[in-house]
Structure 1
């Protein structure tokens, strides 16, 4: 009879910070760019070059630490982590081992209605390495140092997660906190958020941890979930066969849905850490810490409570609107102009999300201005255009951010609000369709729908359906 096992998971999450320049030099951090064009003697590790710390990196790290309930280390410093790798130009990485900037935090998650607190062991600042590009044609590896020296924070959790669902909930919570702070865009596909999964299995009820492996190369939430399931199965199979799990770093192949060993897992002493002699300690004064605290924006959890109290929106709307800071900002700015929260919410959740899906784009890439959506909502309210036309105009706002009033004017889409002209059109339609008139008068109330449809066709959809119904009922008696 096989035993019952539980999975124990801890994460190391690397986040590229949204600074304009690198952590120790003034080179650009922009993604893309021709290889080795965003480089200088400092980030290519030239002898005799000296690093100078970017203040914004420290402020972003403090902001993330405060938002994840950490204690800020007001006297922290940088250490050298020594290892040889072709994309690591100095043969060491500047990181923090002994005094990381943030410690002992937690974030709260909810999975299947159950709340759980995931502890954060520490958050430290460090520099990113370069990138090796393997060229299959010449069978050689080339190195691009554009990413070398890009500022990172590494968020190290305690081994508190027990399933892929908990891991994804934790990562989504972290991603939203960091996006709301503006500290990073957290795009997994561009590598600005990367997670390494430390995983072991043990028998249920056991207090002791099993031997863990670390999995790398995970660039989507789906890949992370699959990797956790795959590695859990692999470790249980080994134990069931009486074999041992080896502590090592493994590379997950998402297409094969299997992980491969990369190297044995080093411990801290193998990196020969020592304080970096080129960088002075970072002293965070109470004033500086308070300044950063005062600048902290409203985070998602607080926003959700406020949306319920201030706007009286349903839970479902609140969930969707606040799941992206960009969408929440669009909602608030549009609503400030029209003061119709439910109407604004409907446009964002309905038409906007439909077009986002159809265009296969990210919510954060929406470019239309709140002013134009607000104007469109006003035009529908004033009866200048009907809802059908409004949807047509909104597609143009979404794609090209057109000014709705001018667009309606130029394309002759204004509602037919001249009751006299509309009545003449309707009288003609009624005269042409005696059968529908007879059916309506005989009690078949649905027959009016056909006449409304004919009117809308005759007016090219510009008539107000409410007015059409009212006039028809008067004529049909």
Structure 2
């Protein structure tokens, strides 16, 4: 795989992503997974593995794993097993984490995405089910740490890639593509700030053709911006170390967004350090072929398939189709508007343009859009039938977005935005503008287009913006195409 070199070094990146599954209860108990509860109010006896308790598998969590496997073209193991991953940390109440090691439920598969015009594919090693640990709290305490065990036992899918990425941009694009998939198929809400989608980046550098370098794992990257900055810094740091003659030590590191630097947290463990062994309280997880067929029948149309359909069905450019399928909400909004107005390219332009600009400006999600797809379709229809100009359409859109009007036609009427339909009246305005601007007429006839544009502007001003710009262009050009008449 060819890649751009940095100071003569090739970058190698792999990802481990923890996606919190969209279940109402924890993976091995009926304890709630709701976010934001008071600390330690959602930690049951099963979560803590108190004597006499037994874990019971959450069927919905398994279904989420099946959905991911189907979406990514993975092998879904008909039989997988759970293991105990042993380590001691204050927020791990059991002293071990129930996870999968030797036989994960999802094996192989790939995530494909575009980086610019180039399609990239990152291979997956596995995705396995496991429980989350608790959370250590440092900010609220002085000289000590608090422990909140509400997250303990929350169901996760850990999605592990091959070391296939060769740049920071590629790594971030992969993370965004995976985020899109898990939210699209409804297995994760994708809220990075709440920890629902946490990425660990394994970064190393090497000279081209050399064996893989020693990797350092950047933990818990909770935004794409932080991800970009952290990996960029880590690459520069590792190259500087090697250039100075130092060896890279395998380690787990944290990214500090305040300083923009990574810092070592602890030496990195290998699998043997965790002393995995099969969990004696959990039988093997057996997934019948019929269950996989049931889940497959319920799967939504996937983003890449939908984008391809938008190109075929609506004649959209690939760029438009890919942009519109970034979320199900945006794709559904576009399709509703396109079908209602019969002008898919115009609908695409408005969704990617004015709609997206307003959403970004107000920092709201597509689900909270303030102009319905029906209203947008009506607005586009009034542009197409010549009722309003493009400039007037933006005024109507502003009114709809602000809640100043509910119906497109009512806003047009109230604001007096209808274009002139009386050709005779428009011709009178044009004749008056020509008479008042003879120099511009002469300049246009001498080949100066700016003079023509000035005349168009004068006509639009005289009509108070109600003239149809195309009609103005046609009539005006017909009037002054010949030699100027001496006054």
TM-score with structure 2 setting the length: 0.83
Q: In structure 2, the residue corresponding to 1:188 is in which secondary structure?
A: coil
- CA distance in 2: counterparts of 1:324 and 1:310, whole angstroms: 19
**Residues 343/232 of structure 1: CA separation in 2 closer, same or farther (3 Å cut):** closer
Residue among 247, 250, 267 paired with 2:250:
247
1:341 Cα deviation (Å)? 0.6
Instruction: Give runs of aligned pairs for residues 209-358 of structure 1, distance below 5 A.
Output: 209-358=212-361
Determine which of 168, 173, 181 is the counterpart of 2:172: 168
Find the partner of 1:102 among 94, 97, 106. Answer: 106
Given that 1:196 and 1:215 are in contact with CA atoms closer than 8 Å, whether structure 2 keeps it comes out as yes
Cα 1:159–1:374 shift into 2, 3 Å: same
Do the aligned residues in 2 keep the contact of 1:128 with 1:147 (CA within 8 Å)? yes
Q: Once the two structures are superposed, what CA deviation does each residue of 1:334-390 show, in whole Å capped at 9, x if it has no partner?
A: 222222111111111221122123224455653543222223223434455443332
2:139 pairs with 1:140: no
2:458 matched residue in structure 1: 450
Between 35-44 and 296-305, report the one with greater CA deviation. Answer: 35-44
CA distance in 1, matches of 2:456, 2:119: 54
Please say if residues 399 and 411 of structure 2, whose CA atoms lie closer than 8 Å, have aligned partners that are also in contact. no
Q: Secondary structure at the match of 1:255?
A: coil
CA contact (8 A) 1:430 1:451 kept: no
* Match of residue 415 from structure 1: 418
SS at match of 2:354: helix
**Matched-pair contact (CA < 8 Å) for 2:429–2:463:** no
Q: 1:390 aligns with which of 393, 396, 401?
A: 393
2:16 to 12, 20, 26: 12
* CA displacement 1:167-223 (0-9 Å, x = unmatched): 2232222222223222223233332221112223333222x3332221113222232
Among 150, 166, 186, the alignment partner of 1:182 is 186
Residue 463 of structure 1, CA deviation: 6.2
8 Å contact 1:121–1:156 — kept in the other structure?
Answer: yes
Contact 2:21 2:157 survives alignment (8 Å) = yes
Q: Answer yes or no: is the 8 Å Cα contact 1:393–1:407 preserved in 2.
A: no
Q: CA RMSD for the aligned pairs?
A: 3.5
Partner residue in 1 for 2:448 = none
Paired residues of 1:81 and 1:92 also in contact (CA < 8 A)? yes
2:213 partner SS: coil
**Aligned 1:457-468 pairs, distance under 5 A:** none
Aligned residue among 44, 56, 63 for 2:60:
56
> Does 2:213 align with 1:205?
no
Residue aligned with 1:305, SS: helix
Deviation sequence 1:308-355 (CA, Å, 0-9, x none)? 211111233223212333221211122222221111111112211221
SS at match of 2:346: helix
Q: Is the CA contact (8 Å cut-off) linking 2:370 and 2:400 kept in structure 1?
A: no
Distance, in Å, in 1 between the alignment partners of 2:169 and 2:116 is 9
Partners of 2:457 and 2:79 in 1: how far apart? 75
TM-superposed deviation, 1:392: 2.3
Alpha-carbon distance in 1 for matches of 2:371, 2:283:
46
Match of 2:3 in 1: none
Q: CA deviation at 1:15?
A: 1.1
Instruction: Name the CA shift for 1:440/1:11 in 2 (closer, same or farther; >3 Å).
Output: closer
Distance 1:409 1:62, change over 3 A: same
Pairwise CA distance, 1:85: 2.1
| Residues in 1 aligned to 2:324 and 2:477: alpha-carbon distance in whole angstroms | 41
Contact kept? 2:371, 2:400, Cα under 8 Å: yes
Q: Secondary structure at the match of 2:92?
A: coil
- Post-superposition offset of 1:254: 2.8
Deviates more, 1:465-474 or 1:174-183: 465-474
Is 1:61–1:125's contact at 8 Å kept on the other side of the alignment? yes
- Mark the runs of 5 or more structure 2 residues left unpaired by the alignment: 1-5, 446-450
The answer as to 2:37 corresponding to 1:29 is no
Deviations 1:8-54 (A, max 9, x none): 22211111222333323344434334434545443455544443322
Q: Which moved more, 1:18-27 or 1:324-333?
A: 18-27
Which region of structure 1 is more displaced relative to structure 2, 23-32 or 62-71? 23-32
Say how many residue pairs are matched.
Answer: 468
Query: Is contact 1:367-1:401 (8 Å) kept?
Result: no
Relative to structure 1, the CA distance from residue 314 to residue 418 in structure 2 (aligned partners, 3 Å threshold; closer, same or farther) is: closer
State the partner residue of 1:88.
92
Corresponding residue SS for 1:280: coil
Call closer, same or farther: CA 1:384–1:204 in 2, change over 3 Å: closer
Calculate the TM-score normalised by the size of structure 1. Answer: 0.85
